[in-house]
């Protein structure tokens, strides 16, 4: 029964989602994401994994298929959202490490393809382990790129019966954000991106699609005059007319790209996190607006399965301070953990995401 549950856990890695990197006027760097799906798997929580943790990049002890040559020891502590139900390797959906490298995985349905045979001189890396492995071993996006191109290949190896279709985004204290996409052309790593990623199609397509919205601006149009008939503007926001408002991947990419271009920058960490969470609201799925036609495999362990995809949680992390912030759909109060304070711990542990509504009585 546990294997059946964990098989479904791998399916949980296949949600929707939007990712964004951002910075403040005083030089802080952030990366964050919306996690869009119809549920959050049991066992998922905000997870800390210490440096020195031993793990494997291919195979699981539960399936008795561990590749012993893929054994690694974590050079860096990391924290993010994920689970530790697999004894051999932690799984993180997104996170940050002690050097300030941040990033996560998003669904890449219909496009993701991985190597189905070994590559000479390279070690296998299963897609669900990419986030944790890079955070455990790399201090920067440069090191992450080198890891993926020179030392490892993404292996088409099922985990408990499934291989989730994924692509990834990572950022660091330099402000550079990379996008990593495995498809029919092989492994594409985009450097110096605009710092936005959603779902399929790939980053190159989304970037080219920005040309369809080149006229969008932040400045209102003042009036309309046709054949001598002049009308003064009676509402604001006219400069953004034509901005798509649905929840498809292309539309979310355009909205976040325009927000990154025009949204007012903050000063300081708290203001930066607060404003970035507001940006993510523009791409968030309201419960009830995205009814899915295929729920995937549902087990007896799944609770509160919704017929809709929605933004289950939003996370934001700061490369300089090593704080990991999050809100949930039910609870908009900003919660956080501080990785720099957790690194003295020697064992992995999890924090409940606190999804119950949390209201403050301001009169007390």
Which residues are catalytically annotated? Answer: 17
Residues β-bridged to residue 19: 33, 197
Of the candidates 170, 87, 173, the one whose C-alpha atom is nearest the C-alpha of residue 131 is 170
Sign of CA dihedral 294, 199, 89, 79: negative
Residues β-bridged to residue 291: 308
Residue with the two structure tokens 């791998």: 10
Radius of gyration from C-alpha coordinates of the chain:
21
């Amino acid at each position: 029964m546990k294997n059946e549950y964990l098989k479904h856990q791998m399916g949980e890695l296949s949600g929707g989602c939007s990712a964004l990197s951002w910075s403040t006027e005083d030089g802080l760097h952030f990366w964050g994401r919306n996690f869009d799906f119809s549920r959050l798997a049991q066992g998922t929580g905000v997870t800390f994994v210490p440096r020195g943790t031993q793990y494997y990049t291919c195979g699981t002890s539960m399936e008795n298929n561990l590749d012993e040559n893929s054994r690694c020891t974590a050079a860096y502590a990391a924290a993010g959202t994920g689970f530790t139900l697999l004894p051999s390797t932690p799984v993180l959906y997104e996170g940050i490490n002690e050097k300030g490298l941040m990033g996560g995985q998003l669904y890449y349905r219909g496009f993701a393809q991985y190597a189905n045979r070994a590559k000479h001189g390279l070690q296998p890396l299963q897609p669900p382990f990419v986030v944790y492995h890079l955070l455990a071993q790399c201090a920067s996006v440069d090191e992450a790129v080198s890891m993926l191109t020179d030392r490892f290949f993404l292996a088409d190896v099922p985990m408990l019966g499934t291989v989730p279709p994924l692509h990834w985004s990572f950022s660091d204290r330099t402000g550079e954000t990379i996008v990593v996409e495995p498809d029919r052309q092989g492994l594409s790593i985009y450097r110096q991106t605009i710092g936005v990623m959603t779902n399929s199609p790939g980053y190159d397509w989304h970037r080219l699609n920005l040309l369809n919205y080149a006229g969008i601006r932040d400045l209102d149009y003042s009036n309309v005059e046709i054949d001598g008939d002049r009308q003064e503007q009676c509402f604001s926001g006219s400069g953004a007319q034509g901005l798509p408002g649905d929840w498809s991947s292309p539309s979310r990419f355009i909205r976040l790209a325009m927000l990154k271009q025009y949204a007012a920058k903050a000063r300081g960490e708290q203001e930066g996190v607060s404003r970035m969470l507001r940006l993510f609201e523009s791409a968030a799925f309201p419960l009830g607006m995205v009814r899915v036609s295929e729920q995937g495999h549902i087990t007896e362990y799944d609770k509160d399965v919704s017929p809709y995809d929605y933004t289950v949680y939003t996370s934001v992390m700061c490369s300089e301070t090593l704080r990991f912030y999050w809100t949930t759909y039910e609870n908009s109060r900003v919660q956080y953990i501080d990785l720099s304070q957790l690194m003295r711990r020697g064992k992995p542990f999890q924090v409940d995401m606190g999804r119950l509504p949390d209201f403050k009585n301001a009169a007390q």
